[in-house]
Every structure is written in C-alpha cells, then in structure tokens.
Chains A and B, each alone.
Chain A
Amino acid sequence: MSELSVNHLLGIKYLKEEDIELIFKTADHFKEVINRPIKKVPSLRDITIANLFFENSTRTKLSFELAEKRLSADVINFSAGQSSVKKGETLIDTVNNILSMKVDMVVMRHPNPGAGVFLSKHVDAAIVNAGDGAHEHPTQALLDSYSIRERLGSVKGKNVVIVGDILHSRVALSNIFALKLQGANVMVCGPKTLLPKHIDKLGVKVETNLRKALNWCDVANMLRVQNERMDISYFPSTREYTQQFGVNKDLLDSLDKEIIIMHPGPINRGVEITSDVADSKQAIILDQVQNGVAVRMAVIYLLASKIKN
C-alpha cells in the first residue's frame, strides 16, 4: 500500500493497520532527512497549512510547525487566545475565513471532543487532529508506537501499560486504539477514580497495583497528572499519588527485567516519574520528541499527496 485509506487524520479509530505501517515506513525516510546537514525537502512547497490551536500547546505545536517547515509548506499559526474566537466567532466561521486565504490543510487542537470530525464535514481542507478534548491525539499515539517499534523492533505482541490519568487523557485513548491495532497487549493502571468505567470493553487489562503492572509490561507509558482538567479531587494528594503510581529508580531496579519508560510530556518531575528515571537510559522520552517530527512529517506528506493539484 502506498496511499492512506483516509483523507483526514481525525483519530486512530479511523485508521487501518496498513495505514500505520505506511506512516511508519514514510517516517523512516523522514527520520533520515532530519538527520542530514540540511534537514529540508521541497515536496510541499505549494501547500499552505494552518495550525489552529484553540487550546494551549507547546511541544505539539512546535513539532507540527517544524514538520511542516521541513517539508517546505507555507505555515500560518493561530492561537485562540489572541483571536476573534474571544469575540464570539463560531468554529466554522473562523476556519472558513482562514480557508478563504487558500489554505490546503488544517492542523487543529480544540477543547471539544469531535471538533475535527465536525470540521472535516463542513470545510474543504485536509484536517489533522492535534488533540480534541479528552478524545484523541492520534499523532502522539503514532509517535509513541513508532518509538516502541524503533527500540523493540515491533509493537506486535509487546506488553504496554499506560499509567496514570486515563480518564482525562486523549493520549491514552489514541494509544489504546493504535497499540491494539498493531497487535500489542495493553493494560491501563491508575487510581480507580481516574480509570473510566467499562474501559475493559476496549480489550485492555485493568490494574490498580503499579508494581504488578510494571512486572507484566515491556513498556510503561507514564501519563501526566492533568491538574488543569480535574474539576474535583480524584486522589487525596499529589504526594499520595506519587507514592502509589509514581515510578522511581528503586522500583525500576527491583523489577525482574529492564522495561522502557515513555512519557508524552510535559513531565511533572517527582510526580509521575522521578528525575533519575526521566534521565535514565531506560527512558526514551527525548527519542519520542525527535520521532514526533518525523512521524508528523509522514502524516502531513501522505495526506498532502491526496490533495490533487
């Protein structure tokens, strides 16, 4: 297969396994490109991309922007904080105004789940979901799987545990879809209050004991405690959370085997993982960041190739 089965990247849910394989194969090529003395290719020089961020983001936005620029696309940036959204403009109006400036692709982060799907039905541009509420964050899940594949050779058959705030996490949901699609065994682990009811219906194991989870897994993806999304108290104190669900070096060293530690960032050092774990050779957190650019280049390149001239 040399073409994606979709015209937008709205979520992992809409992808086939072959799509993920194609994205990874293409990302391999771009990873080589971004390690050259000159890290840029001219493929998308006639494509304009709008990055619409209706919610704060640092690394995802930087990563997308860099990926777009490495492909030679023209890039315009929009942050809700400084825009007419505050004046009451609707999403479709905002986007249509931007599209009338001849934009071919929209990368959007939005606080509402389904915002990307909604947009794809109403505007004529390729849409990339860069996070929609607590729903999906497909490029993060892709770069996570890509990093696992890079380190362990493949994702199939590997045991991956996602630890922490599963309830508020779009990273968790996209990762579950992506990992299951590629044949990995997935477990979620966290305080009961942060595990959604019926999450096991997605075919994942559920565990509330971190040590048991770590002993089972090959890879642990440590999610950030998202204080900003917590409207009520889900656990008594950060200190208690850390004691039960934080990973420190002693805990890692006491396991039977060497596992891989991932984190989508930004890290709360000393909460989900301690500094010595984050900086250890078992952590592939910075590889994830570098792979993020290559994977996003692949996604944008493959979607752009479907926009006919």
Chain B
Amino acid sequence: MSQRVLLNATEINIILHRLACQLIENHNDFLDTVLIGIQPRGKFLANRLAEILTKEYKVKNLQLGHLDITFYRDDFRRSDKPLEANKTEINFVVEDKKVVFIDDVLYTGRSIRAALTAIQSFGRPTEIELLTLIDRRFSRHLPIQPDYRGRQVDAINNEKVKVHWKENEEEDTVYLINN
C-alpha cells in the first residue's frame, strides 16, 4: 500500500475559503439556505465551512445540520460488513429551503442518492445543491454531479481518496492511497 499527498493543510485552507465565497455568492445572507453535512465524514467539512462563514464572513443565523443516510442506503444486506448508523442532527424543517449537501468525497454518487431520499423526511426543499471537497470524476454510478467542488481527482478503481481532518486525525491532509 502506498500513499501520496493530494492536498496539504494550506491548500485545503485556500479551497475551503474559495468554497465559502462561492456559497456566499449564491446564497447571500443564507436566510433561506441550510447546510447539511452527510454523516459520517461530511460532518467535518460542513462544520469547517460553517465556522469560516460565521466567523470570517460574519454570516448570521446560519443553519447547519448533519444527516445520516445509513437507513436509506441501497446496499443493506448486500455488503459484507454490517452498516453502522451515525447520529442525525437536524433541528429544523427544510420545507421551502435551499439545501446544500456537504460531503468530503464524491465517488459513486450512491451516498448522495440516499441523502436525496433521506432529506425528504424533513420536508420538501425548494432546491438541493451538492458541495464536495474531492470529486472523483469518471467513477460515478449515477447521474449526480457537484455544484461546488474543491478539487477534481482522476483516481482509478483500486485507489482510494482519504480526507484527514484536524478534529479527527490531527492533520488537514488529503491522501491518494494505492492498495
């Protein structure tokens, strides 16, 4: 197994600020917009973006939630290892809101497919956008594309992209791992 660094902490920081600015461009004061981090790994990115938006760009009343998609996945009883659920924390309804899904890596698109179903349990959003730090293009199983992307990566099948966050792995780094 070998691994190389795709993005270091400085590069990630620049990308996060760009993504935050792009969100502001499209959503202004975020009055009708909610950010939803996809559990488990999208949570870190969503928290980080929310922090930049509120602290550095002074966005007020930003609504942030975390959505777990385990019970909506299409591989229940089909994968070798059992699925483990995470916590859903959405303390608002998304009816008539613009929802931005936030996940670290977009690969097959199946998680986002599940998230699209799951979010309907919290109301009918007016629109849903997708923000992802890493977009593994050419790996999609479904017709799903991001609206905001940090970096596009052409990884082949036995390669894996792993995003490390300071909060969890004590460093901000994106690795390309070759198995």
Contact = CB atoms under 8 A, between A and B. Distances in A.
Do A and B share a complex? yes
Interface of A: 2-3, 26, 28-29, 32-33, 36-44, 46, 71, 301, 304-305, 307-309
Contacts of A308: 77
B177 to A, nearest CB: 23
Interface string B76-106: 1110011111111000010000000000000
Main secondary structure of the interface of B (DSSP, over half): loop
Contacts of A2: 81-84
B77 A305 contact: yes
A36 B82 contact: no
Interface stretch (B7-15, B118-126, B141-149, B167-175): B118-126
Main secondary structure of the interface of A (DSSP, over half): loop
A37 B76 contact: no
Contact of B122 (A37, A41, A42): A37
| Residue among B71, B77, B83, B120 with most chain A CB within 10 A | B71
A305 B88 contact: no
B82 A42 contact: no
Contacts, number: 54
Interface residues of B, number: 22
B28 interface: no
Nearest to B74: A42
B77 A3 contact: no
B121 A29 contact: no
Across the A-B interface, the 8 shortest Cβ-Cβ residue pairs: A41-B71, A38-B121, A29-B85, A309-B77, A2-B82, A3-B82, A43-B71, A2-B84
A304 B77 contact: yes
B93 A37 contact: yes
A305 B68 CA distance: 18
Given A2-B81, A33-B121, A37-B123, 10 more contacts: A26-B85, A29-B86, A33-B71, A36-B122, A41-B121, A42-B71, A43-B71, A46-B77, A305-B76, A309-B77
A25 to B, nearest CB: 8
